[in-house]
Structure 1
Amino acid sequence: MGTKGEKATSKGRLVTELLVSKLDVIDKISSKKMFGGHGIFRQGKMFALVNSRGIVHFRTNDSSYKKYEAQGFEKHRRMPYHAVPDKVFDNPETLLDWAKEAIALSKNNTR
């Protein structure tokens, strides 16, 4: 999800496809184009987004965001999503753990 009016990019699309592929062990993961980026969903609840520059963000809440900000990754504007560090994205086990946490937050709609 990018800035309103921002155009989707091939990098954003490719990162979205890669993320969905990496999370294929979790059932019912899908993506949808939104505002120049992509929303990532599980069972109709958005738990992640990929902006038009191809940066992955996971849903966070008041306690989970601390591990993102401790590594210097900021919040996605006013939305409760934080950028996912490359070292997490590149580690399949850690990525799954962080994704499952974001999925749980999306189910509970907790902030």
Structure 2
Amino acid sequence: MSADREFLEELFEPVGRVGFRRMFGGLGIFRDGLMFGLVAGEVLHFKADEAGRSAFEAEGCAPFSYDTKDGRRTLTSYWRVPERLFDEPDEFRVWALRAVDVAIRADAGKSSRAGKKKPAGTASGGLIQD
């Protein structure tokens, strides 16, 4: 997969209201102000919860990991997107929207634990952000 911005914009167009932001040498992928995907090392990852991880595992995909000076770290909330989805736009959209739903549920869980609501007007509005 190429991390080319035009490629990503075209790929995510059917998902709607998606924004991109550079972060940590990669790219965060957002919808309505919530990060649901990331590109690191030209590899696309989607947010997944415990229930959704099995779909990634069934495709032979691994969780996002990176090296630090203290060793390798694995972030099991983001999983490599199956490459076959780049040629299957309808199914790609389903997987992407599933990742958006995971991000929404995770945010709702944070808000309820903190006892506060997310402020209005936090949507990314579909803008491409740097």
- Judge same fold: TM > 0.5, yes or no: yes
* Identical amino acids, percent of aligned pairs: 30
Which residue does 1:104 correspond to in 2?
A: 101
Deviations 1:77-107 (A, max 9, x none): 2240100111012210110000010001111
Structure 2 segments unaligned to the other structure (5+ residues): 65-73, 110-130
Higher strand share: 2
* Contact kept? 2:56, 2:79, Cα under 8 Å: yes
Q: What letter corresponds to residue 108 of structure 1 in structure 2?
A: R
Q: Which residue, out of 78, 81, 84, partners 1:81?
A: 78
Normalised TM-score (structure 2): 0.69
Name the structure, 1 or 2, with higher relative contact order (CA <8 Å, separation 6+): 2
Moved over 4 A (4+): none
Higher Cα Rg, which structure? 2
Between Structure 1 and Structure 2, how many residues are aligned?
Answer: 98
Q: CA deviation at 1:44?
A: 0.6
Question: What are the equivalent positions in structure 2 for 1:1-111 lying under 5 Å apart?
Answer: 11-12=2-3, 14=4, 16-51=5-40, 53-76=41-64, 77-109=74-106
CA distance in 2, matches of 1:72, 1:87: 12
